[in-house]
Structure 1
Amino acid sequence: MNAPLFSFLPDYERATFPEPRGFQDPAIEKIIAGRRDGHRRQMLVAPTGAGKTYLGLKLAHATLKIGKKATFVCDRKSLIKQTSEVASAYGLHQHGIIQAQNPRFNMDLPFQIASVQTIMDRGWHDTDLIVVDEAHTIYKTLKDHILSTRATVIGLSATPFTNGLGEIFTNLINAATMSELTQSGDLVPMRVLSCTRIDMEGAKTSDGEWTDKAAAERGMQIVGDVVSEWSRYAENRKSIVFASNIKHCDELCRQFNECGILAEVFTSKTKDDDRDRILNEYRKPDSLIRVLISVEALAKGFDVKDVSCVVDCRPLRKSLSTAIQMWGRGLRASKETGKTDCLLLDHSGNIVRFIEDFTEFFHDGLDSLHQGEKLDRIVRKDVKERETAECPKCGYRPFFKRCMSCGHETITGPAVAARAGEMREIVIGKQTVARDQRHLWDQLSAYAREHSRSEKQYWRAFHLFRKIAGSEPPKAWGLSTEPVPVDAAIVRKIKSMDIAFKKAREAA
């Protein structure tokens, strides 16, 4: 039996968390309500900047305070250390770490932070709550345990797009969307520059996705352009570069360093001592390391707030989740460093391939885990006209229907006609469906309350109103609670719009 680190019973009552942001406590309340409704396995979707670790540790704290046990599971060494440091900062320093050769291994403590690889090798321990960080990465043995354990399981993910998640988790909760976090200042806007493109024409694929080897071989041909265009556009920005494999990383690093730009490679092959040295230096505000180069090791959960440039040199056709994880490394706000935006230097073409689905996810999040699964199964094709498409209102590009910078949305025209007269009746076809715009709003609010989750009801009614009436509802109108019947013609119109939208997406 290992010796306990503490000679007294853990006191978790004294833990203190930062003041929650507006969406965080409601997200936790939804988790609790879901558990009361019988959902033992729930997925909490929280974009970069939403504080997934904060939410997970707060759930663990609530469990520990009532005398039960909690385990926070991470799938990467760097994330275990990062989570342990954050937990200690909140006052949850009385925890053990289940990780090979970690000196803080202590199974006597009720709170454990665990490496998923170690815990799968050694076997599971008794616990009441399991929080799974980066829960879109599900190993078979982890899945089997989640399905069989008596413990409550909460998955945390910014991109729950993995096939099969809908079979594991029975309830989906969106903490916030990327758009909402950008508007609140928790994320910074992304500025995109389309740079010299890796030519992937005819490159080898596997299951519809370009192979890492093929992407790396093509990427080698433009390494000089990557370095020169970074020097031109992002010289004063702390940056992360994503490459296709380790050989590609090494060549990029070599050419950055030859140009006098201090760069380091950080991959699964980086030794522990080098990891600590590199990250300790890179986290400094005045870090000598200006460019960190990786494949996957920095794509998930890595948090250095003053990173303000992401260089995407990893072409993808299917994995929107990987693209979002890469881009998200530079989106976290950092007011203390004066960061105002994130520059994406797109050498891969990913932003153009994924712009349609990314725009929808950016503004609306996910409706279901099955929807998320589809987003990583579709092979996207290059659409050249999207390369230069820009928002007609603010000029942001690339633009697809709804701007990720200013929110402007293109409208093809009103779906209804308005009859002349004092009350301006709302007409679909030849049938009057509402006495006036307010009556239409009451009906659409009633429809949204019945068919959408609470956090999406207002915006569902808002977009339906705009499409049907051809204008936005007055800003002073909140979601109506009037118990009005919804005209059958309105219901038919909504269904026809939904069908048209789905067909357009399938065609695209």
Structure 2
Amino acid sequence: MIKVGLETLSRLLFAREVSTQYKLRNYQQVAIDKCVDSIANGIKKIGVSLATGGGKTVIFTNLIDQLKSRTPKNEGDKFRTLILVHRRELALQTINTIKNFSHDINAQVEMGKYHCEVEQADVIVGSVQSLLNRLAKYNEKNIDLIIIDEAHHAVAKSYIKVVDTINSNGKIPVIGFSATFERNDNKALSVMFDEIVYHKGIVEMIKENWLCEGLFTSVNVDVNLDDVEVSSCNDFKLDSLSKVMNTEKINNIVVRTYLEERQKENLKSTLLFAVDVAHVKYLCEEFRKFGINAEYVTGTTKVAERDRIINDFKNFKIEVLINCGIFTEGTDIPNIDCVLLCRPTKSRSLLVQMIGRGLRLHHSKKHCHIIDFVGVENVGVVSVPTLMGIDNFNDELEAATISELNTLKLQIDKEKQEMVLKNAAVEDSLKAKYNDYLEEHNDFDLTLTSYPSFEDFCEAYKDSNGYLSLTEKEPISNTERENQYFMKSSYPWVKTANTAWAFSIHNNHHIRLYKETKEKDNVAKEIYIAKIYRELPFAMREESGIRFIPRELVKTNDFFKAAGIIEQTISEMQMRGNDDKGYTLNVNKFSPWRKLQATPKQKALLLKRLNKVNSLEKKESDRLEKKDIDNYVEHISKGEISNVLFASTIAPIYPLKRLLKVIKYRINRERIQAFQ
């Protein structure tokens, strides 16, 4: 057996001289049976997902024993297990648990300056970093089982190299254990594991009383995390997050919240998760200012000092223990009765790890109070309601239990289901309304709006929560204002570009309206410019090469002001009376003549233009069949064709391309309805 000089490790390794009897919990035996059955069925790379405090080490210690009894060995040969860990604390806990079950097991450590004698060992607990430099000692002949603790790390290159080198033939079973079988950097755990054979989460463990009850409180510290940088792992960059969270105001709120809860609940052992070392030290000083016995541990804290602090904390000599990323894994401190989350995260797995630190059962507590300090409006931040399946929860929690959160989830789900049913009924009504809309407007009219399809049409009837309403909502964006105005206007507007509109007045004189977007001080501003264009006489056009003389009517950021000036201009022109040829200005899209059938000459010209633009489509699937274009033109009215020809005179491609898409949409819609 290996002799080690480190006092703490030596004590953990050899303190137990008598086997401790331990009756497995029912779910622990189920997890073991699942693993044994999977391996027997040839599935060699498996995972077990179990909440913190569920006894992962107990499970795989017993699993080793059960697999050992099922694996045939020659006399004198050992069944040998390699347990991979990535932290010293995990190695110590694993060794201690193994020795609790039997002093007959030869358990050794491969970590740092401690080297194991492979052939003598039954169980080897090795740190991945040490094993990378000692892989020559290990192969498929002297290892029968590989267990990976905190297995959500298993797709790291270091783990893959260790496992692939030892298990080069793929015959050694590899079993991973983790409370959070997911990664935030999108690396697929399927690289290491084929199947998760057993899962038991925090909520289920609390309900079955294997973990203590959690009380969940959220404290809005009025922070905005929108500008905090995000790393490649899809979580906040700590230096950027620290600038937002490590402030005098927020730290004061944290301490005062703790003092209030300590008085109400007689808190004895509080674990605080901070952002970085600077945040840890600042908070520790704040707690001490209020006479609170607080200590901290960071990555640079010496091992002996860390052990002393943890031991004092376990013995209730320290009230508040502050850390940053140290106690998220491999920490067994069951007396924790409060967890302060001062480190917002986008990582579901990290939040589960932090919460799990306080949920172990202990005689000194009835529950653990989890207090989350974060701004309620921060999208993407994972919170306790998120873990319960309650998304976008913006209210504050006050000592809510898992049962109460579950009731809240059921209530929200019920309300959502009711809204879904209501939405379906409203959608049916809107379909009828959309059919009327299509009947009332010709195809070219539809090119004026941003909703030439039913889905786009529904956008105008959604409330602030995204649910449908039979009442058209008040337009809140300029685009919505434009859509409503152009469709309801009595003028024959056409769309000549994505942000440009026009309508003909008389003798090719016309009005144009443009929208320009200009950025000032990183803020985009929309400007509307209205102009009247007068066509020069033919002789002057020939001589000058200029067809139109424009005059600006208005330039404003108010859409309705621009529309009002245009209407005023038209009204003044109408009041001036007839022109010199006796023509009365009549700019109205509802004029009787517009309903008449288009002339053959007009139809021929439009056919020519539409077929030309249709032929420009690169994909054949995007092109309309000639018969469909012919059919559209055959039934077109004089008003619609006048609008199309006028628009294509100003912009030869854009309006015709949009028109072809609308025609295609209507044809496809009619074909679908015919099959229903």
Correspondence for 1:299: 328
Q: In angstroms, what is the RMSD of aligned CA positions? A: 3.4
Correspondence for 1:131: 147
2:341 pairs, out of 293, 296, 312, with 312
Indicate yes or no: 2:293 matched with 1:272: no
In structure 2, relative to structure 1, the CA distance for the partners of 1:395 and 1:84 (3 Å cut) is: closer
2:239 pairs, out of 206, 213, 216, with 213
Correspondence for 1:142: 159
SS at match of 1:270: coil
Correspondence for 1:159: 180
- Please report how far the alpha carbon of residue 147 of structure 1 lies from its aligned counterpart in structure 2 after TM superposition: 4.2
The TM-score with structure 2 as length reference comes to 0.51
Indicate yes or no: 2:281 matched with 1:250: yes
CA distance in 2, matches of 1:311, 1:129: 39
Correspondence for 1:42: 46
Which structure 1 residue ranges, 5 or more long, are not aligned?
A: 6-13, 362-379, 417-508
- Please report how far the alpha carbon of residue 294 of structure 1 lies from its aligned counterpart in structure 2 after TM superposition: 1.3
Indicate yes or no: 2:132 matched with 1:120: yes
- Please report how far the alpha carbon of residue 260 of structure 1 lies from its aligned counterpart in structure 2 after TM superposition: 1.6
Indicate yes or no: 2:78 matched with 1:78: no
In structure 2, relative to structure 1, the CA distance for the partners of 1:159 and 1:345 (3 Å cut) is: same
CA distance in 1, matches of 2:49, 2:367: 23
In structure 2, relative to structure 1, the CA distance for the partners of 1:390 and 1:291 (3 Å cut) is: closer
- Please report how far the alpha carbon of residue 145 of structure 1 lies from its aligned counterpart in structure 2 after TM superposition: 3.5
Correspondence for 1:177: 201
In structure 2, relative to structure 1, the CA distance for the partners of 1:3 and 1:22 (3 Å cut) is: closer
SS at match of 1:214: helix
In structure 2, relative to structure 1, the CA distance for the partners of 1:223 and 1:249 (3 Å cut) is: same
1:91 pairs, out of 91, 102, 107, with 102
In structure 2, relative to structure 1, the CA distance for the partners of 1:302 and 1:99 (3 Å cut) is: same
Which structure 2 residue ranges, 5 or more long, are not aligned?
A: 6-17, 72-77, 422-676
Indicate yes or no: 2:242 matched with 1:234: no
Indicate yes or no: 2:358 matched with 1:330: yes
CA distance in 1, matches of 2:55, 2:275: 28
* Per-residue deviation, residues 247-292 of structure 1 (Å, max 9, x unmatched): 11111112212222122212222111111111222222xx211111
Correspondence for 2:290: 259
Kept in 2, the 8 Å contact 1:388–1:397? The answer is no
SS at match of 1:29: helix
CA distance in 2, matches of 1:391, 1:3: 49
Kept in 2, the 8 Å contact 1:159–1:324? The answer is yes
In structure 2, relative to structure 1, the CA distance for the partners of 1:38 and 1:147 (3 Å cut) is: farther
Kept in 2, the 8 Å contact 1:391–1:399? The answer is no
Kept in 1, the 8 Å contact 2:216–2:401? The answer is no
Kept in 1, the 8 Å contact 2:275–2:343? The answer is yes
CA distance in 2, matches of 1:205, 1:39: 37
Kept in 2, the 8 Å contact 1:40–1:152? The answer is yes
In structure 2, relative to structure 1, the CA distance for the partners of 1:411 and 1:19 (3 Å cut) is: farther
Kept in 1, the 8 Å contact 2:351–2:382? The answer is no
- The residue type equivalent to 1:90 in the other structure is F
Identity among equivalent positions (%) equals: 24
Pairwise mapping of residues 356-505 of structure 1 onto structure 2 (< 5 A)?
A: 357-360=386-389, 383=392, 386-388=394-396, 396=404, 401-402=409-410, 412=417
* Per-residue deviation, residues 315-347 of structure 1 (Å, max 9, x unmatched): 112x1100110011111122x22x222111111
- The residue type equivalent to 1:122 in the other structure is R
Indicate yes or no: 2:230 matched with 1:202: no
SS at match of 2:46: strand
- The residue type equivalent to 2:326 in the other structure is A
* Per-residue deviation, residues 437-469 of structure 1 (Å, max 9, x unmatched): xxxxxxxxxxxxxxxxxxxxxxxxxxxxxxxxx
SS at match of 1:386: coil
SS at match of 1:303: coil
Correspondence for 1:56: 60
- Please report how far the alpha carbon of residue 397 of structure 1 lies from its aligned counterpart in structure 2 after TM superposition: 5.4
CA distance in 2, matches of 1:195, 1:130: 43
Correspondence for 1:225: 253
CA distance in 2, matches of 1:189, 1:120: 41
CA distance in 2, matches of 1:129, 1:345: 41
Kept in 2, the 8 Å contact 1:263–1:291? The answer is yes
CA distance in 2, matches of 1:36, 1:172: 15
* Per-residue deviation, residues 36-90 of structure 1 (Å, max 9, x unmatched): 1211111001111211111111122334556410122221111111211121111
Kept in 2, the 8 Å contact 1:43–1:155? The answer is yes
Indicate yes or no: 2:311 matched with 1:290: no
CA distance in 1, matches of 2:62, 2:209: 22
CA distance in 1, matches of 2:403, 2:275: 31
Indicate yes or no: 2:298 matched with 1:281: no
Deviates more, 1:139-148 or 1:106-115: 139-148
SS at match of 1:68: coil
- The residue type equivalent to 1:112 in the other structure is I
SS at match of 2:340: strand
CA distance in 2, matches of 1:415, 1:224: 44
In structure 2, relative to structure 1, the CA distance for the partners of 1:120 and 1:186 (3 Å cut) is: same
* Per-residue deviation, residues 9-47 of structure 1 (Å, max 9, x unmatched): xxxxx9555111111111111101111121111100111
SS at match of 2:106: coil
SS at match of 2:32: helix
In structure 2, relative to structure 1, the CA distance for the partners of 1:4 and 1:128 (3 Å cut) is: farther
Kept in 2, the 8 Å contact 1:356–1:400? The answer is no
Kept in 2, the 8 Å contact 1:352–1:398? The answer is no
Kept in 1, the 8 Å contact 2:45–2:192? The answer is yes
- The residue type equivalent to 1:401 in the other structure is K
Kept in 2, the 8 Å contact 1:281–1:288? The answer is yes
- The residue type equivalent to 2:176 in the other structure is G
Kept in 2, the 8 Å contact 1:41–1:153? The answer is yes
In structure 2, relative to structure 1, the CA distance for the partners of 1:52 and 1:282 (3 Å cut) is: same
Kept in 2, the 8 Å contact 1:203–1:215? The answer is yes
- Please report how far the alpha carbon of residue 355 of structure 1 lies from its aligned counterpart in structure 2 after TM superposition: 4.8
